[in-house]
Structure 1
Amino acid sequence: MTTALKRYGLGVLAIAVTVVLFIVPLAFMALTAVKDRREAAKLDFAWPTTFNFIENFQDVLSARKFMLVTAFINSTILTVASVTILVILAAMVAWILQRRRSRWNGVANFLILSGLIIPPAVVPTIWVLQSMGLFKTLPGLILIEVAFGLSFCVMLFRAFIASIPKELDEAAVIDGCGPVRLFFRVIFPLLRSVIVTVIVVQSVHIFNDFQNPLYFLPGDANATVQLTLFNFQSQFATSYNLLFMNILLITIPPFIMYLFFNRQIVAGMTAGAVKG
């Protein structure tokens, strides 16, 4: 009985913490987003006297020549391109590191861990992008996102590839598969659970990224969704109703993705952790 009560108490505590940390802020954001400017400025957790959802939505959408629409397009291109490159490149790197042992494996592992530990340097990165002619361009930011997310993805893929029998590779080679065909026809389809995990986690991370677009992709025409938050706040005044409406709109896509793929994320993480 005591054990059951403890489990029940822990469950209730977990639900309460979840409500406080996630549901309450989401509800506050939604309520503020539908208020008028005067009521929203109070920043209180109160029911609005009038619902201005449509008006606030139209104001946010049309602000600064429909900048939010441009930002959604830029963020979508950035996310899709970066995640596609990350999935293919990280899986290839992880497969080579796991299957082919050499004296360079130690160096490669050190570089991968360094990518997780050492923070990125902004000024040298800008200098490199300028020398390549990629500063203030979307391809340049795509390379940045790939570089910063590669270490994490390689470690996930490598942990899962360790569970795939090496005899499978040898049998495919005997049947006439070259390295490229072996990877894409045999190994890559087996990584489905980890691929889903990488796609969802990295998509949400890149779509919500604020720092990298701010530093490496300045300019209104290059704005991503997170940078549109500057449209409604300034040094002396902030339109909290429009600001929270903007936040609500850019929160919906990652929220939907997590809602539909949360089981796949957990499955991919645990599979790599157990089998690696």
Structure 2
Amino acid sequence: MRRTQLRRWIVGAVAIAVSVLVFLVPFAFILITASKTTQGASLLGFSLPDKWVLWDNIVTVLSDRNGLLVRAFVNSIVLTVASVTIMVVLSAMVGYILSRRQSRWNGVITFFVLAGLIVPPAVVPTIWVLQRLGLFKTLPGLVLIEATFGLSFCILLFRAFVATIPRELDEAAVIDGAGPIRLFFRVVLPLLKPVIVTSIVVQSVAVFNDFANPLYFLPGDQNATVQLTLYNYAGGMAANQYNLLFADILLITIPPLIMYIFFNRQIVAGMTSGAVKG
């Protein structure tokens, strides 16, 4: 009995130590570097700053280039909310149909869903399509891109979770006179809350932190997202402003970190419920 408790204690201590090394140490390095002067940060050393100027660096980053970071936050929030809304609604519908209605097309649809996870996106053809639609260099165009790239993951989550909902609920709702739309939105969708929260949090962080898609499909300062603002301090004449670069990274890191802190239990519940019950 004591050996079992000792093993659990050792495993727990190792897990905590690994978590500290993987998560807390990099965050501490970001915070310390963001608090230094330009000269102190240029050394990239893991040491306390001689002079704490974190607030001054944050103010400089927020006001630099006529408040580019503030505009970027607005663009990123609009992009994230719109993209994740489309993802959740469409993937919930598709996942429900794939789970409830068995047909010869299910295998084909599942193949394309899995292909969306495996096949990498083609940048040049996508730009050509957006140009033909008049959506290149526009926020709505990037919203469609982000929503499309995240659909496959969400569809698989919803499909697995819908399989855990008894079919008798659908039959009872139909007997009471509910049509397909009312059945889905009034009966099924409220039961999908755990996987909805999981999809929202995971995809929101993914879209908010996306760097490549805004770089390719939404160029220009007016359309900049938060990740693209790192270019201000990571290249050219500003390559040695590591204090401002890490202050920018610190501001960008806070929203996803808050989401994971408050919704980590819901994320685990939504990811595992389908696998356990289905």
TM-score by length of 2: 0.97
Answer whether contact 1:33 1:245 (CA < 8 A) is retained: yes
Q: Which amino acid aligns with 2:250?
A: L
- In the other structure, the counterpart of 1:264 is 266
- In the other structure, the counterpart of 1:86 is 87
Q: Which amino acid aligns with 2:214?
A: P
In 1, the alpha carbon distance for the partners of 2:220 and 2:7 equals: 55
**CA deviations over 1:227-263 (Å, ceiling 9, x no partner):** 0001112246330000000000010000011001101
- In the other structure, the counterpart of 1:255 is 257
Structure 2: state its 5+ residue gaps. Answer: none
- In the other structure, the counterpart of 2:59 is 58
Answer whether contact 1:194 1:268 (CA < 8 A) is retained: yes
In 1, the alpha carbon distance for the partners of 2:176 and 2:31 equals: 58
Answer whether contact 1:63 1:231 (CA < 8 A) is retained: no
Measure how far apart 1:157 and its partner are. Answer: 0.5
- In the other structure, the counterpart of 1:245 is 247
Measure how far apart 1:76 and its partner are. Answer: 0.3
- In the other structure, the counterpart of 2:226 is 225
SS of 1:159's equivalent?
helix
In 2, the alpha carbon distance for the partners of 1:207 and 1:234 equals: 22
Q: Return structure 1 stretches of 4+ with deviation > 4 angstroms.
A: none
Asked if 1:115 corresponds to 2:116, the answer is yes
Q: Which amino acid aligns with 1:160?
A: F
Q: Which amino acid aligns with 1:257?
A: M
**CA deviations over 1:12-61 (Å, ceiling 9, x no partner):** 11111111111100001000001000000000011111111221111101
In 1, the alpha carbon distance for the partners of 2:55 and 2:34 equals: 10
Measure how far apart 1:173 and its partner are. Answer: 1.2
What is the percentage of aligned positions where both structures have the same residue?
67
- In the other structure, the counterpart of 1:70 is 71
Structure 1: state its 5+ residue gaps. Answer: none
- In the other structure, the counterpart of 1:3 is 4
Measure how far apart 1:84 and its partner are. Answer: 0.8
Size of the aligned set, in residue pairs, is: 276
- In the other structure, the counterpart of 1:35 is 36
In 1, the alpha carbon distance for the partners of 2:240 and 2:276 equals: 49
SS of 2:126's equivalent?
helix
Asked if 1:204 corresponds to 2:183, the answer is no
Q: Which amino acid aligns with 2:241?
A: S
Measure how far apart 1:176 and its partner are. Answer: 1.1
In 2, the alpha carbon distance for the partners of 1:208 and 1:238 equals: 23
Instruction: Give RMSD over aligned pairs.
Output: 0.9
In 2, the alpha carbon distance for the partners of 1:272 and 1:226 equals: 33
Measure how far apart 1:2 and its partner are. Answer: 2.4
**Deviating more after overlay: 165-174 vs 223-232:** 165-174
Measure how far apart 1:122 and its partner are. Answer: 0.8
- In the other structure, the counterpart of 2:180 is 179
In 2, the alpha carbon distance for the partners of 1:76 and 1:273 equals: 32
- In the other structure, the counterpart of 2:169 is 168
SS of 1:228's equivalent?
helix
- In the other structure, the counterpart of 1:141 is 142
Measure how far apart 1:270 and its partner are. Answer: 1.3
